[in-house]
Amino acid sequence: MFLHSRGCLDGATMKRYIVFAYDSYERAAGWRDVYRSATDLREAEIFASEARDSANCDQVEIYDIHNDALVVEWIKGVDRKWREFRAD
């Protein structure tokens, strides 16, 4: 995938939120950890829920690329329960 100067990703409109899903014991891999991208926060939360239910991961994050900030992350504990942490 390539980001073009006109703000598009491979010819599609750039979305605001990126959902990452990965295993915390592995080195963060950037684009390899992208689960989905979303135009609004509600859609991103739906994708994050899908990632927690289906992806083989122990950490899921929603990142806001317009504000360059982490919105929320979920971490799966040793008890296999997800814990939510919202950014301030």
Q: Which helix (H) or strand (E) holds 48?
A: helix 41-54
From residue 8, alpha-carbon distances to 11, 47, 50, 51, 86 in Å are 5, 21, 25, 24, 28
Average confidence (pLDDT) over 13-32: 84
Question: What is the reported pTM?
Answer: 0.80
Residues 9-27, mean pLDDT to the nearest whole number: 80
Q: Higher pLDDT residue, 68 or 12? A: 68
30-34, 37-41, 47-51, 59-63: range with lowest mean pLDDT: 30-34
Average pLDDT of span 26-33: 76
User: Using DSSP, how many helices (H) and how many strands (E) does the chain show?
Assistant: 1, 7
d(CA 55, CA 1): 22
What's the confidence (pLDDT) of residue 12? 64
